[in-house]
Amino acid sequence: MPASIAVITAGLYLAKGILVPCTLAVLLSFLLSPVCDWLERWKLGRIPAVLITATVGFSMLGVVVWTTVIQVSHLAPKIPEYRENVEAKFNSVNEYAVAVLSQVTRRTHKIADKTTDDVLPPNPDSEPQGSDKFPFSVRIITSPTSPIEIFGGMFGTLLEVLGTTGIVIVLVVFFLIGREDLRDRFIHLAGKGEVTVTTQMLEDASARVSRYLTILFLLNLTFGISVGVGLVLIGVPNAILWGILAGVLRFIPYIGPWIAATMPVGLSLAISTGWGLTILTVLLFVVLELFNNNLFEPWLYGKKTGVSAVAVMLAAVFWTWLWGPMGLLLATPLTVCVLVVGKHVPQLSFLNILLGTDPVFEPQKHVYQRLLAGDMEEAAQLLESSLEHKSLVDVYDNVLIPALAIAETHWQLGDLNDGKHKFIMQSLKEMLQDRSDREQEKQAAQAKKDVATDDAAAVNTVSAEAIKSKSSPLKILCLPARSEADEITAMMLAQILGTTGSSVQASSVTSLADEMIDLIDPSSVDVICVAATRPAAVMHARHLCKRLRVRFPAVKLVVGLWDSIGDLNKAQDRIGCGATVFSTLADTLKEILLMSGSPLSQPDQPSPSECDPKVTAPT
């Protein structure tokens, strides 16, 4: 793989004279193809639509270039005058700093001279200071450059630019005319039988790049016009030139607008005696960038290009090193294409991971990874961020319980040592306790708010009496099947069921199963929920349910086999004892709501002998 990357990079560098015009032509084709499609929908032929689009597009580009040249020719004679003003202003501002620096430098030289005199005493036989050791001066005189050489250099550069521009124009025209044919040929050559993958990759790349270039072009055009109009209102000369440069340089990611801002800011320093004009110019760029970055770009781009900010900066450095200034302008579109290739080609999926913005870990794995690394604070932040978009039940079902199951499985297999396992369990307990404390504080604040108003208090009293008269609250006990992980899931279940108005208690695993059962008061329990976490969830839940059924034959048993990946019907048959089995907190919550919403009716419970063949029913 490294050898292949080195060969590809070398090929890109050596063939940049051919690849740069071709790449630029392809990107311009992406930009202009929607216009051609729009003209063709108006019953205009393919060739006339392409010619009109190319003529208008490159004519506008030529007008912009010509305007820039005229503006630069008007600005050039004034540069010496502006430079003198800038130097005078900075000299006036930095006089004190220069004086202090000079004073420090003189003191440093004095100390150095004194140290030298102390180490090396003066030699009376040495030559006087004023004597010249080399009485002859030497000058290197080069031959003046001939007019032919100057003209040849200028003509060669101009010819190279014109030749590249002509090649790009011709390629764009031909690409637009035969875009469907070129697309099919590329799919046939690159697909090698994988037509589906190649077609999806090409459609994704073309859609992303075309959308990105179109929106970026419109945003930069708007930015350039806004800069030009703003500078005209402020009073900065050559506002058209600075607007054009601002729109062009904004194609450079992140730093482009600020490079464009340095020139009008410097000019405002040169033409004004105060700082008001400069401050207004800086504020103009700051305000426009804030609007673009925080309002227009998120609204228009949506998820943008899917390339991370770090990848954009690294790509800008790479393509600039490879292709020079043109590579800097093409960095983001080319990186988008590379990202799409990595997204659809399995062998290059590492490119999607390195360059993309999609999360590398699923939420549950991300939480587990941070807990495994000992970072409980970031794990708690991940939990809070998940709660911004999902309910508490969904977050517990899809994030925390799967993360807990991963930790428990790895611990059972020996991949996780006891110290790490203990830290993960304790961290999850603290996170749940913190969540419970927050909910209690919120409920207390809401209760105080309701009591503050007499009407609200009266309404709450009537509502409470109505609920009380309808049905009495369920008394629910949440028991862990065996392990500490089961205890944590029992805490989650108790928090969720507490929102139903039922009386809910959760037990710990500090005692054995029989001792824990002996502490239960049969008259204070209507429903017992057994919480069990894989990998040994069914076995532990079955062991506890058998003992519960013997002791409490009339109590409703609900078993939660959290994050279970097997068949629940088979698991329910294995557990038996008349227990109802669920795999999620959400399903368990629905069952409890159904129980509490109607008068409690005791279902037909199996006898102890039916639950456990070894137990004999009392006579």
pLDDT, residue 144, reads 58
Please report the domains of the chain, with CATH numbers, ordered by start residue.
1-92+154-177 (no CATH), 363-435 (1.10.1240.10), 473-611 (3.40.50.280)
pLDDT, residue 101, reads 65
pLDDT per position as a tens digit, 433-454: 888 888 777 777 766 776 655 4
Instruction: Evaluate whether 549 touches 528 at the Cβ level (below 8 Å).
Output: no
Q: Residue ranges of the chain with pLDDT lower than 50? A: 119-120, 126-127, 129-132, 134, 151-152, 154, 454-470, 598-610, 612-619
DSSP-assigned states of every residue in 237-300: SSHHHHHHHHHHHTTSTTTHHHHHHHHHHHHHHHH-SSSHHHHHHHHHHHHHHHHIIIIIHHHH
pLDDT, residue 604, reads 43
pTM, whole model, 2 decimals?
0.58
The interaxial angle of helices 179-191 and 147-177, nearest 10 deg, is 90
pLDDT, residue 145, reads 54
- Backbone torsion region of residue 163, taken as left when φ is above 0, otherwise alpha when ψ lies between -120 and 50, otherwise beta: alpha
pLDDT, residue 483, reads 84
Helix (H, G, I), strand (E, B) or coil at 184: helix
pLDDT, residue 305, reads 58
What is the separation of C-alpha 385 from the centre of its chain, rounded to a whole number of angstroms?
14
pLDDT per position as a tens digit, 151-196: 445 455 667 778 888 888 899 898 888 887 887 777 777 655 567 7
Give the residue among 16, 14, 15 at the shortest CA–CA distance from 330: 16
pLDDT, residue 229, reads 92
